[in-house]
Amino acid sequence: MAVKSHLRSGKPVLLAIASNDSLLGSAKNLGELFNRKNYFFVPMLQDDYVKKPASLVAEFEMIPEAAIAAMNGIQLRPIIYHKQL
């Protein structure tokens, strides 16, 4: 209810995702949120794309920067990336 109220007043919602199935079962839902107004994401890292190809973990140290960007209506890019093994 807090997010719903926040959105009603036109304020941004910042999401920091950490999930082992983000690119499988949750991908559709994430895709829908990517296209909605006032939803912003902390950039996510595909931490081990060989052993855990569907896993995503937010770059939690980027939360302050992502929050400032969201307050200004900006989504930090890239939203999803992977580190070279």
- The CA–CA distances, whole Å, from 62 to 16, 33, 35, 36 equal 10, 20, 21, 22
The amino acid occupying position 52 is K
Residue 68's domain is classified under what CATH number?
3.40.50.1950
Q: Which residues of 48-72 are buried (b: 16+ CB within 10 A; e: fewer)?
A: eeeeeeebbbbeeebeeebeebbee
* pTM for the structure as a whole: 0.89
- pLDDT tens string, the chain, 85 residues long: the values are 888 888 899 999 999 999 888 788 888 899 999 999 999 999 999 878 888 888 899 999 999 999 999 999 999 999 988 776 6
- The label of the residue with tokens 């200004």 reads 72
- Tally of domains within the chain: 1
The enclosing H or E element of 22 equals none
Q: Which domain holds residue 13?
A: 2-82
